[in-house]
A and B are shown apart, each in its own frame.
Chain A
Amino acid sequence: MTDTLATFTPPTRFAVPGRIAVSNRAAALWQTATLTEIRRETPHAATYRFAVPAWAGHLPGQHLMLRLTAEDGYVAQRHYSIASAPDDEGYIELTLDHVEGGEVSGWFHTVARPGDQVEVRGPLSGFFAWPGDRPALLIGAGSGVVPLMSMVRHHRARRSDVPLRLLVSARSPEELIYASELGAETTPVFTRSAPPGVPVGRMAAAHVAPLLAEQPEGGWEAYVCGSNAFAEHASRLLVAAGQPVDRIRIERFG
């Protein structure tokens, strides 16, 4: 969209540039997404698989906007990260936490069933995208693991040897989304209860330090995702451990 326009570079420290250009057409267009499958991930989270035949494709880390419409025309729209890897042609998967009293996540968790139709527009934001081109250090908590999982899945599907690590925080093993899919690249941190022999506690400098100690060539691009409180905490840990601020990308869920 910007090829004909120069862009101003501020005299301040340069902000993290976007990773890809975003298609205006895809971002502008509402498309029907048909729910084809629901998979429970944890007691509070489930994955929703949709058929979106004309989906333009996405990069791991991108999100979309989803809207539900009531009989009287009232709409509710929210952003959701895309959980699936890009190669799942014509299909996308989202993983939603059931937010207490939540208008949109509540509908998904209590009403939705295969065959239902919702609308989506996207993919959006090239900033949090990871094209798979450089070493990635992924840090998430709760449903913040969703866009990071798309990266992990992409990495696996490509059999990529680009270094990739995932540090993920969950309340307990039962609350760890995608637990059965996580592998050697992942270090889980449990904040309320853990399997025997695994310490319980908040993500700390001691979790981040070993990852930054093994600097890959060119350094890590860090991707942090979760609630604002978690994003603040994790990004401070990264900065304190020496990760440059202009190589930290943050996706806050609000």
Chain B
Amino acid sequence: MNVTRGFTGRARVHNAGLPPGQYDAGDDWPVLSAEVTPELSPADWTFRVDGLVEEPRTWDWKEAHALPGSVYEGDIHCVTSWSKFGVRFGGVSLDAFLDVVRPQAAATHVVAYSHTGYTTNLPLADLTGGRAWIAWEFDGKPLSSEHGGPARLLVPHLYFWKSAKWIAGLRILDHDEPGFWEQNGYHARGNPWEEQRYSGD
């Protein structure tokens, strides 16, 4: 351990919900997207799931809202080291979409992509079992464009760069393909509890 002379740091919070190396950002919600925030209206938003599935399908705003609603209440963790506690997102569980398209047996990974062209890769297993959502509400209000509105992917058990803003679709694959940050040195999975920030962690 390399102690920094004279550094004490903030009062320690013993919060079991805080992954290693993270701090509680409180009410702040930093924005770190690398591209221009798109002006995308709900009417122009679509969400497609294709690749290794039985029935590729595209949903528009109305069709997606016709699926059973689902809420995530919990924490989110950004790789830049802030975490945010007790957030509440509303949308639809990704399971509801996947149940319709039915991934094939060979399917193992997913590339999620945005209406901007941003991409991020995930193991399919991280998107099933009630652990991932398409979210369009935050704290009961429409999700703002800076934070990925009209709709973003939400995978709160992984670092937040995996939760692609302005989600446009999922391509289901039988292998892993690095996305935007993953090609820029970030970890393929991004589990905050194992501090998988950069490739090699």
Contact = CB atoms under 8 A, between A and B. Distances in A.
Interface of A: 1-2, 5-8, 10-16, 18, 21-25, 27-28, 32, 65, 68-79, 103, 107, 111-112, 116-119, 121, 124-128, 228, 232, 235-236, 238-239, 245-246, 248-252, 254
Contact of A12 (B5, B31, B113, B175): B113
A70 to B, nearest CB: 5
Interface residues of B, number: 54
18 contacts: A10-B114, A11-B169, A12-B117, A15-B116, A16-B117, A21-B183, A27-B185, A27-B198, A69-B3, A69-B7, A70-B4, A70-B7, A77-B21, A103-B23, A112-B6, A116-B5, A117-B4, A232-B146
Interface hub of B34, B36, B146, B169 (most chain A Cβ within 10 A): B36
B198 A235 contact: no
B199 A239 contact: no
A27 B117 contact: no
A18 B183 contact: yes
Contacts of B118: 15
Given A1-B185, A22-B184, A77-B21, A12 B168 contact: yes
B115 A1 contact: no
A124 B28 CA distance: 24
Interface stretch (B8-16, B83-91, B129-137): B8-16
Contacts of A248: 35-36
A18 B184 contact: yes
A125 B185 CA distance: 7
A254 B30 contact: yes
Contacts of B183: 1-2, 7, 18, 21
A235 to B, nearest CB: 5
Contact of A124 (B30, B111, B198): B198
Interface hub of B9, B21, B113 (most chain A Cβ within 10 A): B9
Given A18-B184, A24-B199, A28-B201, 11 more contacts: A1-B199, A5-B178, A10-B119, A16-B117, A24-B185, A28-B199, A76-B10, A76-B23, A103-B23, A111-B6, A125-B181
B66 interface: no
A69 B31 contact: no
B180 interface: yes
B104 interface: no
Contacts of B1: 69, 73
A101 to B, nearest CB: 9
B68 interface: no
Given A27-B185, A69-B2, A1 B178 contact: yes
Interface hub of B28, B35, B113, B168 (most chain A Cβ within 10 A): B35
A172 B117 CA distance: 38
B31 A252 contact: yes
B184 A76 contact: no
Contact of B113 (A10, A65, A126): A10
Nearest to B121: A8
Contacts of B140: none
A148 B113 CA distance: 29
B64 to A, nearest CB: 17
B35 A68 contact: no
Contacts of A71: 3, 8
A126 B32 contact: no
